Chain A
């Protein structure tokens, strides 16, 4: 089963290497990992999608906790959450195909962010299913290049994954 973990870490150099290294040397499979600073510049947030049964997940969580730079881990898989991924796709777009591609973009509420003589770059945001469907729709036109951010996620409603000043969990 795939699990989505929200992990708050100290924004120290090397923290990504510590987390990524832990996964590889203990043989856990990362599906995706996205990281960036939070509103507090001293703290970064990682969204890690990891594949494994409950036992594996328990070990992943416990081993992550042992890293001094890891402040907090929440497995939000079972909760209601919003998840998004952003993808940029450079697709072949000869002038006669552009109309079709733009229609597809419309359907997925994607945006055209670059127009070359023979290519276009499209930007699409959505959950995994939508991003996958978008990619499949463009495949027949010839995908030249594709880059995605990996999934980021956030709990719905008034619950949140954050730290208070004393570092404890704030759950409502």
Chain B
């Protein structure tokens, strides 16, 4: 049957079981939006294209499915760029459609023309400019395959308007044929045996687990490995929620703002088992002094991550879940009471702590939220101090219950990501924890939140400043605070009200204790403006370029 390529696009999305598209229409995307008119797929109209891509990203992180978003050509496409880079850095599977000027005008600087495939080469796993309508079904099939397999990532499809209008014989391909793309899933058996041998010999192992655990669904295998070999587990920011936060073997996050005991444990360990983590500078700080006494086992699906920053003794390329399934039968129940006693001692000696008094403490807000949700909410964050306090003080119970911008550190990610997350997991409590800086970067998405009637609870930790930058200036610029204070803020509660959203302001610990349970049980979206102590720093902290055990504390 002959249908237009735009109609074929919609049919392909239905074949891929896409439930929701986040988007914003425009001139050159009209044919696709026209085809969507009769589609069964929900379309969420955002208020800015950046909101569309972050929402698709939040949806993908919270559900494990592919996030789909679309925009028109030119400015619509460039507005997606930050969000695409954000998804690329955190390996989030997205399929992104952009409109393009008709083929005859491509390359002529036509109205609303931009070379979006050229622009996004460095920030997509792959991208396509569709030149022939007949190719579109195959391209979409490939795009979903590429986005979700191997190391996941965003794939962009740029669709010129005349191509979208061309009629084709539609048939959705059943198979992909990509000669140059064959990810390795099964780890090398000899390397896995070597890893098991190292684990057996080790007296002080530490598991360093990243976002790969979550994307491969290896959380159960991780728990089993840790308990079997009695190894404490530390998470990267991306890895948080992959291991139960209240488990005795849990060390919390490592690195720049990690727990002191995690950082010392990594420094003292004789075997570091890196699982789906990439030794980022924020985690490792100083590559040549990271885990200095340890042999390193590194499991990752992306061969390019192995040996990139840190030397590795046993490299294993493969899907971390499948590799752990092969490894588990080879390791024995081991008692490492001496090492675990040392870990316990470190935990008691250097607990996460903050000084009470002196206004409302942000850490207390997070702790209160943790207590009232029992660690079972889906927490979405923005970027800055509040994000680090969440990482430190919220103890996640289930995988995919933290949605946070890690690699790119995108302020403004939170609100649209919370929209996407709540749409993806409608039965779960979604809480956005944001800051007064981040929140205002994509604040227009409050309209989307309201329009979609999503019961997201927003806790804004408001210190009237860009706290993380102020903290950096405090430590590295001898307190020369430049461009970090907001001398004006809108009346946030009035603003929320203008969007039809309820709002509360809290100033004291008592008010927080009272408002949190109340807000969590209210229907619909709510904004809580938490006026926190402005001088608060995120501690502990590893000074730039130092070893991770050289932290300082409050």
Determine the distance from Cα of A17 to Cα of B179 in the docked complex, in whole angstroms. 19
B178 at the interface (CB under 8 A from A): yes
Interface residues on B, range: 10 to 19
Q: CB-CB < 8 A to A117: which residues of B?
A: none
* A62 and B179 contact, CB distance less than 8 A: no
List residues of B (120-158) whose CB comes within 8 Å of A's CBs. 121-122, 125-126, 129, 131, 146
**Segment of B77-85, B300-308, B342-350 engaged in the interface with chain A:** B300-308
* A17 and B118 contact, CB distance less than 8 A: yes
CB distance from A67 to the nearest CB of B (A): 7
Q: CB-CB < 8 A to B304: which residues of A?
A: 59, 62-63, 65-66
B117 at the interface (CB under 8 A from A): yes
* A68 and B181 contact, CB distance less than 8 A: yes
Q: CB-CB < 8 A to A70: which residues of B?
A: 180
* A62 and B303 contact, CB distance less than 8 A: yes
* A14 and B129 contact, CB distance less than 8 A: yes
Determine the distance from Cα of A151 to Cα of B181 in the docked complex, in whole angstroms. 27
A113 at the interface (CB under 8 A from B): no
Q: CB-CB < 8 A to A13: which residues of B?
A: 129, 131
Q: A14-B129, A21-B121, A21-B122 are in contact. Are A68 and B307 (CB under 8 A)?
A: no
CB distance from B80 to the nearest CB of A (A): 19
Q: Which residue of A lies closest to B181 (CB)?
A: A68
Determine the distance from Cα of A9 to Cα of B181 in the docked complex, in whole angstroms. 11
List residues of A (56-98) whose CB comes within 8 Å of B's CBs. 58-59, 62-63, 65-72
A51 at the interface (CB under 8 A from B): no
Determine the distance from Cα of A66 to Cα of B125 in the docked complex, in whole angstroms. 8
Q: Which residue of B lies closest to A42 (CB)?
A: B179
Q: Which residue of A lies closest to B305 (CB)?
A: A62
Q: Which residue of B lies closest to A70 (CB)?
A: B180
* B121 and A17 contact, CB distance less than 8 A: yes
List residues of B (178-212) whose CB comes within 8 Å of A's CBs. 178-182
Q: A10-B179, A163-B179 are in contact. Are A68 and B303 (CB under 8 A)?
A: no
Determine the distance from Cα of A42 to Cα of B121 in the docked complex, in whole angstroms. 21
Q: Which residue of A lies closest to B118 (CB)?
A: A17
Determine the distance from Cα of A118 to Cα of B192 in the docked complex, in whole angstroms. 70
Determine the distance from Cα of A115 to Cα of B121 in the docked complex, in whole angstroms. 45
* A68 and B180 contact, CB distance less than 8 A: yes
List residues of A (24-61) whose CB comes within 8 Å of B's CBs. 25, 55, 58-59
CB distance from A34 to the nearest CB of B (A): 19
CB distance from A37 to the nearest CB of B (A): 15
Q: Which residue of B lies closest to A55 (CB)?
A: B307
Q: A59-B308, A66-B302 are in contact. Are A71 and B180 (CB under 8 A)?
A: yes
Q: CB-CB < 8 A to A14: which residues of B?
A: 117-118, 121, 129
B121, B179, B302, B303 pick with most chain A CB within 10 angstroms = B179
A111 at the interface (CB under 8 A from B): no
Determine the distance from Cα of A69 to Cα of B29 in the docked complex, in whole angstroms. 27
Q: CB-CB < 8 A to A17: which residues of B?
A: 118, 121
Determine the distance from Cα of A55 to Cα of B182 in the docked complex, in whole angstroms. 23
Q: CB-CB < 8 A to A69: which residues of B?
A: 180
List residues of B (277-310) whose CB comes within 8 Å of A's CBs. 302-304, 307-308
Q: Which residue of B lies closest to A63 (CB)?
A: B304
Q: A62-B304, A65-B303, A66-B304 are in contact. Are A10 and B180 (CB under 8 A)?
A: yes
Q: CB-CB < 8 A to B308: which residues of A?
A: 59
Q: A10-B180, A59-B308 are in contact. Are A68 and B126 (CB under 8 A)?
A: yes
CB distance from A82 to the nearest CB of B (A): 26
Determine the distance from Cα of A14 to Cα of B129 in the docked complex, in whole angstroms. 10
3 closest pairs, A vs B, by CB?
A62-B304, A71-B180, A68-B126
Please list 26 pairs of residues, one from A and one from B, whose beta carbons are closer than 8 Å in the complex, sorted by A's number: A9-B180, A10-B180, A13-B129, A13-B131, A14-B129, A17-B118, A17-B121, A18-B121, A21-B121, A25-B122, A55-B307, A58-B307, A59-B304, A65-B303, A65-B304, A66-B125, A67-B126, A67-B180, A68-B125, A68-B180, A68-B181, A70-B180, A71-B179, A167-B179, A167-B180, A167-B182
Measuring CB to CB, which residues of chain B are less than 8 angstroms from any residue of chain A?
117-118, 121-122, 125-126, 129, 131, 146, 178-182, 302-304, 307-308
Known contacts A58-B307, A68-B125, A68-B180; 11 additional CB pairs below 8 A are A10-B179, A13-B129, A13-B131, A17-B118, A63-B304, A65-B304, A66-B302, A67-B126, A67-B180, A71-B179, A71-B180
